[in-house]
Amino acid sequence: MVKIRVIFESGEPERVIEVDLARAPFQHDGKPGSILDVLVAHGVPLEHACGGNCACTTCHVIVKQGGRALSEAEEDEEDMLDKAPGLTPSSRLGCQAVIEDPNAEITVVVPRYTINQISAHGGS
């Protein structure tokens, strides 16, 4: 069972979910099995203005624990993260960070501020 602890800088109550990745009710927001996919499937709010397509930074999370249990960041994700406010060395896009260890304990912080690059540039 994967255990994910979600801390919100906005002051929302902390959430903890446990999920069996093999039987998870994924919503297919972002890459299958991503932090975004798992959280949304369990009713934990994580903004994702672009639908989880690595086209904005609204699903930016800071991985405080368990980063090794996640897939490696690809170039597209790293390029997009460069635009994220509050970027840290352990920042990831929730839509791209796939949980690979079925027994992981992961702690993520959802930053207070995110930027929607799509609407910031006049797109839809």
Q: What is the pLDDT of residues 58-67, one digit of tens each?
A: 999 999 999 9
Tokens of 59: 């699903």
- What are phi and psi for residue 88, nearest 5 degrees? -130, 170
At 24 the pLDDT is 66
At 116 the pLDDT is 52
Domain boundaries, the chain: 2-120
Report whether 91 contacts 81 (CB < 8 A). Answer: yes
Fold of the domain built from segment(s) 2-120: Ubiquitin-like (UB roll) (3.10.20)
pLDDT below 70 — which residues of the chain? 24-25, 114-124
